[in-house]
Amino acid sequence: MIDAYYDAIKTVHVTCVALSGSLFASRALWVLLSKRALWRWLRVLPHLIDTLLLASGLTLAFLIHQYPFLNSDWLTAKVIGLIVYIALGVAVFRGRQTGTRAVTGLMALIVFAYIVSVAFSKQPAGFLAPYL
């Protein structure tokens, strides 16, 4: 019973991951290349998806009794990574200089890839492991 529940939430989580990453990349490319504002729904939708991403992630964590900042280094790394990813995203969409926005956009994508690598390896170092 719990397993079916866990699998369903994990599917929601991974779907949010795919939507969050692909929407972020397309929105960033759009504002940087077209220099035009985003449609209103494209400014609201990512907040809903990121909230669901965090809520589903935290629910999974509670179900397996692993708690960020308490007993799970890889989940702590994911939460910190998520905060950095969101902050870089704000810099991309609120920033003024195109160069800075492009660099922060690229950094956000690298941080996103790092979080995915932490998720698969269940190690806080993620894809940085060979260099540490």
| Coil, helix or strand at residue 68 | strand
- Applying CB under 6 A, among 68, 89, 105, 124 the residue interacting with ligand HEM is 68
User: Which is closer to ligand HEM, CB of 37 or CB of 64?
Assistant: 64
- Applying CB under 6 A, among 27, 46, 77, 85 the residue interacting with ligand HEM is 85
Residues 22-51 that bind ligand HEM (CB under 6 A): none
SS3 content of the chain, % helix, strand, coil (to 5): 85, 0, 15
| 24-32, 39-47, 74-82, 100-108 -> range binding ligand HEM (CB under 6 A) | 74-82
Closest Cα partner for 53 from 27, 83, 26? 83
Question: Which residues 6+ apart lie within 8 Å of 102 measured at CB?
Answer: 32
Is 61 one of the binding residues for ligand HEM (CB under 6 A)?
A: yes
Residue 92, CA distances (Å) to 54, 56, 68, 72, 75 in order? 21, 25, 27, 30, 25
Which positions touch ligand HEM (CB under 6 A)?
Answer: 10, 13-14, 17, 53-54, 57-58, 60-61, 64, 68, 75, 78-79, 82, 85, 112, 115-116, 119-120
